[in-house]
Amino acid sequence: MKFYSFFLVVLLISCNTTIKKDHVKGFLDLLPHDTAINLNYEVYNTCTTNYFYAKDTTKGTLSRLVYYDKDGREKSTAYQFYESRIPATSLCMYDKDGRKTEEYYRIDEKGRLSSFTKTIFEYNESGKLARTIAFDFMRRMKEGIVRGLGTSGGCIVSDEDYEPKRSWALNTVWNYVYDKEGNLIEKFRSFPRDMYQDRYLYKYDNRGRLIEERSFSQGHLYYVESYQYYDGGYEYTRVLYDEDGTRAKQWNDSLETIDTFRYAVDRFNNQLEEKIIEEGGRLVSRDRNYYDKKNRIIRKEIYDEDGKLLGFYAHQYADSVVKPRQLNFSLSNESDK
């Protein structure tokens, strides 16, 4: 019975996520052919974000620089270890309705093999995001090269294992499904098939508020997030699961804790505070956000479990720029050797 149930779940998920070969070919028809990227564009206002350690306000480190287009949309962003991001640059393209149609993303971190990603955004008849198709432009391992434990080539990868120049390939495809009210009810990855967390299901209450998110990984339930709402905020709990459907366990065989993420919001639904609380009530961390009169975040403070200020992000906006600035986004296909 257990095997039958597992087989049924896999079958149902496969029906939802399988892409036929001709569909994959259709995505490959969108594959870029540029071996060198060189894009010029205009930007107007900016937002500069600096990170300060603890209470030190004199030695800020530039962590992010956002450029906006003439309509106030984020056009380009240069990241410098901003939150969980490594040094990188992004560039966004929009259609006449203000919807994002393309996004370019370039890894700029020194010491890493340079890579470049282009994501295409497709929309349904209602204007909702229906699919994202991402391609990457990077150096790839030569055909026949195999590295890893137990292989004849061993685990050490050298520069000679890679092709000298970058090439384009399909990276991933995400699909989005909505109910008749326009709520997102499913998001699934149809390419590639061997990645973790490849499907998400969403449920809503009668007010259209998200009450549950389920994440699946290679056919099995990975986590469940359950939402509760109250005056001035909301929270959700996250429960992790093992492949057999039971609560996930840690290395010492004890159950993974059920974490609670609690948010306080203002009347504009801006997040004022985030608390992460472990099962049992221990406060793991707390973030505090501050906004200006235009509802733009101007400061984010990060505290540890003891209430000690670890550091903060300070956002500074440059408004009313009359003359646009010309920028360039490029990537060549020269050898990385």
Q: So where are the chain's domains?
A: 2-331
Q: Can you name the residues that pair with 331 across neighbouring β-strands?
A: 37
In this structure, the dihedral spanned by the alpha carbons of residues 69, 70, 73 and 76, taken in order and rounded to 10 degrees, is: 10
- Hey, what long-range contacts does 88-95 have (CB within 8 A, 24 or more apart)? 89/329, 91/39, 91/41, 91/329, 94/69
- pLDDT at position 112, please? 65
CA separation for the pair 160, 123 (Å, rounded): 42
Instruction: Tell me the pLDDT tens digit for each residue of 121-130.
Output: 999 999 999 9
Instruction: Tell me the pLDDT tens digit for each residue of 11-44.
Output: 333 333 344 455 566 677 777 777 778 889 999 9
CA separation for the pair 269, 260 (Å, rounded): 19
Pairing relationship of beta strands 233-240 and 259-265 according to DSSP bridges:
antiparallel
pLDDT lower than 50: segments of the chain: 1-20, 335, 337
CA separation for the pair 274, 289 (Å, rounded): 9
Identity at 118, one-letter amino acid code = K
- pLDDT at position 236, please? 98
CA separation for the pair 96, 82 (Å, rounded): 30
CA separation for the pair 221, 226 (Å, rounded): 14
- pLDDT at position 84, please? 84
Classify the C-alpha dihedral 43-46-51-52 as positive or negative.
Answer: positive
Q: Are 314 and 82 in contact (CB under 8 A)?
A: no
- pLDDT at position 154, please? 75
- pLDDT at position 18, please? 40
- pLDDT at position 24, please? 63
The Cβ of residue 328 has, within 10 Å, a number of other Cβ atoms equal to 10
Q: Are 298 and 290 in contact (CB under 8 A)?
A: yes
